[in-house]
Each structure stands twice: as structure tokens, then as C-alpha cells.
Structure 1
Amino acid sequence: MKAVFNNFMGVIAMLLLVVHTLIIGIFVFTCVFWRLVLSERLRVKLVNPAIIGVANVWLGVILWWMRNVQRIEWDIENEVELSLDQWYMVVSNHQSWVDIFALFHVTQGKIPLLKFFIKKELAKVPIVGQAWWAMDYPFMQRHSRAFLAKHPEKANDDLIATRKACEKFSHTPTSIVNFLEGTRFSPDKQARQKSPYKHLLRPKAGGIAFAIQALGARFSSMIDTTIVYQNQPPSFWDLACGRVGRVSIRMRHVEIPAAFISMDYLDNRDDKKAFQLWLHQLWLAKDAQIAELKSRPSA
């Protein structure tokens, strides 16, 4: 009976989310219109703050629902001093769509609105895709190996897009989120990669390397974030139905070595090797932390 009730509440939650998003969409498309017709100076001064405000309203309602209706059990430890006036690089493991809302839960109103690297296909999602475009979220084109074999000149497209996006971010305090694994963790993906980590996929270094090269001197902190679910990683449907359980989040400051800010990741093999080794050490520590959190008894 409880499962039936949870599923019913999930349907209600999804319907309310659609209605909420459609209402917000009116303001999103208004901002998109003015972004297209106004000069760059007015876009920066008027449209950018407006679309950020619209996004915060959309998120605020969802986060209120998560905190007061879903009553997720949050286990949060944050060692980082946060500010709305600084630049942050946020790195995290990735298991579920719920990770995104978990990150917003711990950062909303404390640091600049999180900006993610988005798959290009998601730009077509109604309302949300247009909002991402208006807020200058970088869109990534994931080419297959077969495609790259025929078009090797496209191999660095994502890195170039990252560099261009970071150049825009250099003018306004920004929080850049990078799920270094590049995809959601699963045992099958872990096996295919022959990952050396027990709870993680191999980190992808290119995107974060370019972000650090472009903005490293501005970052007040690199926030190493670890997310662990008490149960199996929840789907978005699990979130809607109230089946998330306890979520443990750990946030710590990691110093970005000064040498990486001026490195040439693309063309210098020594720089690339040193940076990848640094990420490997970061991932080993994260893997151990995940194991420790998973070993804790359920409440």
C-alpha cells in the first residue's frame, strides 16, 4: 500500500513540476527575447541578472519541496568558506540526476549559481534548454570514436568550447561544476573502463584542465565534493516518490597547484602527465571517503 501511495505522490510531484516549469518558462522566453535583441553591454547588465533570478526562483521551489515535503535525510559536512562574490571550481562524483539537486541544496544562495557542462542534445529540452543557453552554460558535443576516426579535426571541439565558456565566466563570479567521470557511475561502465577505483570511474582531465588554465587565478577554491546515497543511487522518479533516503555530502577545499594555472595541457606531455597524476591522487582520496561513508550503519 505504501508503494502505491508513493507512486501516486510521484505522479502528483511530476505534474506540479511540469506546471511550475511552464509558468517559469514565460519569464525564461522573455529573457531569451531580450538577450537576442539587446546589445552585449545591456545583456550583461540587465538580462544576465534577470535570467539568474528566474533560475533561482525555479530552483527555490524545487528545493523547498525537497526539504519540506520529501524530507530527505541530509548528512552534510562542509569545510569550505563560501561567498557569492568569488569564483569556484566544484568537482564531484556522479551517480544520478539527483546529484545536481543535491549540489544545489548545499550551495544555493551561498555561492554563485552552479553552471554545468551540458550535453549538446539537452539544449533541445523545452524551457530548461533555452534557460541553459541564456545563462551561457557550455554545451558539449560527445563524438563517437568512429566519428573522430573520420573527422580527427573535431577531437578538441569540447575543449575549445570549454575555453570559450570560461572566457565568458571570467567577468562575473561563477561556480563551475565538473563531474570528472563524464557520465553517471555504474558497475558495467566501471568494468568496461577497468577502473582502478572501487566506487568511481576514471576522471577525465581535459575539461577541468582548460577551465583551470582559463580561470585558475580567479578561483578562490576548488571544492572537492563527494555524494553518497544510503540506498542505491536514486532515479529522478525515486526523488519524486520520496524514496531517496539519507544523502551524505562532504565538501573540502583543495588547493590548485600554481603550476597548473600556466600549464599547456594540450601540447606539453609533462604538464598533462603531472595533471593527470594529481587528479588520480584526488580520486584515490575520494574513493576511500566513499568507502568509509558507505560502511556506516543505516540510521
Structure 2
Amino acid sequence: MTNYLNKLIMSRLLAAITLPISIALTILLTILCSVPIIIAGLVKLILPIPAIWRSVSVFCNFMMYCWCEGLAALLHLNPHLKWEIEGLEKLNKKNWYLLICNHHSWADIVVLCVIFRKHIPMNKYFLKQQLAWVPFIGLACWALDMPFMRRYSHSYLIRHPERRGKDVETTRRSCEKFRTHPTTIVNFVEGSRFTEEKRRQTRSPYKNLLPPKAAGIAMALGVLGAQFDKLLDVTLCYPENNDSPFFDMLSGKLTRIVVRVNLLPVAEELHGDYVSDKNFKRRFQQWLNTLWEEKDTLLTSLITPHPQKK
């Protein structure tokens, strides 16, 4: 009993020391990488010349790669962390990808950046509008041409019908920018991080997921469908740190990250007019719901502890 208490005290003491150090190093890394990106973005804004835009984009992507490498190095400092990753074979940095993933924690972005940094083009995330005001990060994401999405409630759209379809137009404009160089477009199609409260509020039919929103990826496929080489269906979870993975990541208590990557073809039936064609919209939503049912089953199997063999 005494040994257990000593280990518990030491564990909490180590976490208390690790947390402020991890936060400080992460902030420092983010500032060091985002400032050059912001400056390069201002150059692109002042000099709207295609050749300059391409050069600036290459530089910004390189700086984001440096940020990903820094995050990988910080995670490597945790001796208890184990990665279980399947499905990285046959990926290529010269291809275009549409990546969809479940969203459980802020840790998800870190995990996706770290595991894919050497396998596919730099990730471009669909971001909430509120992130535009986060110091350094917001401006850096703007310079990297990441689309900021403003979510409106159903009641708000009834009062302001002119706002309907704004996210779709934002998606279209952003995707047009990615035609010139290989890109990975990332969309957390649930639109928000998963919590039990949100699951109840949305009346989600899934045990581990929120209902998926189809419009963003449908529009991305509509604009860049012919250029996407594959669709990456990514499932990730933190079986031993399911309650607070991001906090545990920063405090050095994260022990296991499980990632499954399913490489899917961009089938012809996924191309269509999601806004005007109701039949296509219905088929696309059914396809995504089926994908989400399979993901929910997979997550249940990954999270559920398996009995140890005697």
C-alpha cells in the first residue's frame, strides 16, 4: 500500500512539473514557426503575383513541416507513449488527398500532423471561425490558406436566410487554391469535438461519434474530385486516456495512441451537385452514414479492453 501511494505521489508530482514545461515548449515552438509563416503570408497579400504565391506556399508548408517535426520531438520525450498505427503504406507526398477523421480532442490535430508529416502533403484543416482570433495560430492558418468555417444554427438561418450556403462558398474558394500543388484537405466531419453531452444533444445514433456533416467534403470532392487520388478515412482514439487526452499529452501521462488509416478510392458516385441535386445529396449522406457506422464499430473494438490470455 505504501509503495502504491509513493508511486501515485511521484506520478502526480511529475505531471505537475511536466505540464508547464510542455505548455511553454509548445507555445515557443508555435511562435517560432508561425511568425515566418505570417510574414510570408503578408508578402503574398502585398504582391499578388502567381509565381510569388507558389514560392510563398512552398515556404509556408516547409515551416509547417518544421512545426510538425517539433511536435514529434516533444511527444518523443514521453517514454511511456506507445503508437499503434496501421495503414500508412502506399501513401505519397506527390498526391492529393481528402482526409476525414473522427474528432475527440485537441490532441487529434497534433496526432494527424505528426503521423502524416512524412507520408502525405501538409494538412490543410477546415477550421472554426473562432480560431482566426487565436494569437499566432489564427494568422498562420490564414497564411497557409486554411478555410475558416462559420457554423450557423438552424434558428439563426431562419432569421438570416442570406447566410445559408456561406460555408459551401468558403469551401469552394479554398479548394480552388489547392489545384496548383499536392494538398491534403482535412475535415473533421462531425464539426465539433465529441463529448457525451453533445452526443445526447444531437441525438447521435452512434456510441462514440457525433452525426457527420456531409456538405464540406461533398463540396471539396465537387471542386477537386478529379484531382484527389484517394480518400483517407482515419480513425483515432486514446484507449487509456479517453477522458482528457490533450491534457494527458501535455502532462506526459498519455500512454497509447491508436490510429487506423483506411485508403478509399474516390469513386465516380461521390461526384455531384450536393447543393442542387437532392438525390445525390441523399446518396452521399447515406454513404457517409454507412462509413460512420463502420467507424463507430471499430472505435468500440479499439476502446473496449480485451481480456488477457492466461
Regarding TM over 0.5, the answer is: yes
Kindly state the Cα deviation for residue 48 of structure 1 after the two structures are TM-superposed.
0.9
State whether structure 2 residue 285 is matched by structure 1 residue 269: no
Kindly state the Cα deviation for residue 256 of structure 1 after the two structures are TM-superposed.
2.7
Q: How does 1:178-189 map to 2 (within 5 A)?
A: 178-189=187-198
| Residue aligning to 1:16 | 25
Give 3-state SS (helix, strand or coil) of 1:289's partner: helix
User: 1:7-38 CA distances to partner (integer Å, 9 max, x unpaired)?
Assistant: 21110111122222333344233212312222
State whether structure 2 residue 215 is matched by structure 1 residue 200: no
Distance 1:235 1:229 in 2: 7
Kindly state the Cα deviation for residue 163 of structure 1 after the two structures are TM-superposed.
0.9
**Counterparts in 2 of 1:273 and 1:96: CA distance versus 1, 3 Å:** same
Give 3-state SS (helix, strand or coil) of 1:243's partner: coil
- Check whether the contact 2:230–2:263 (CA below 8 A) recurs between aligned residues: yes
State whether structure 2 residue 257 is matched by structure 1 residue 247: yes
The TM-score normalised by the length of structure 2 is 0.91
State whether structure 2 residue 239 is matched by structure 1 residue 236: no
Q: How does 1:141-152 map to 2 (within 5 A)?
A: 141-152=150-161
- Check whether the contact 2:236–2:259 (CA below 8 A) recurs between aligned residues: yes
Instruction: Pick the aligned partner of 1:123 from 128, 132, 143.
Output: 132
Give 3-state SS (helix, strand or coil) of 2:257's partner: strand
Give 3-state SS (helix, strand or coil) of 2:288's partner: helix
Q: How does 1:79-158 map to 2 (within 5 A)?
A: 80-158=89-167
Distance 1:211 1:35 in 2: 24
State whether structure 2 residue 90 is matched by structure 1 residue 76: no
- Check whether the contact 2:41–2:144 (CA below 8 A) recurs between aligned residues: no
Instruction: Pick the aligned partner of 1:40 from 32, 49, 55.
Output: 49
Identity %: 33
State the one-letter code of the partner of 1:77: E
| Residue aligning to 2:296 | 287
**Counterparts in 2 of 1:29 and 1:135: CA distance versus 1, 3 Å:** closer
**Counterparts in 2 of 1:271 and 1:295: CA distance versus 1, 3 Å:** same
User: 1:33-88 CA distances to partner (integer Å, 9 max, x unpaired)?
Assistant: 31222233133232111111111112211111112336521111116511111000
Distance 1:119 1:70 in 2: 33
- How much is the aligned-residue C-alpha RMSD, in angstroms? 1.7
Kindly state the Cα deviation for residue 229 of structure 1 after the two structures are TM-superposed.
1.1
State the one-letter code of the partner of 1:252: N
Unaligned runs of 5+ in 2: 1-8
- Check whether the contact 1:96–1:233 (CA below 8 A) recurs between aligned residues: no
Unaligned runs of 5+ in 1: none
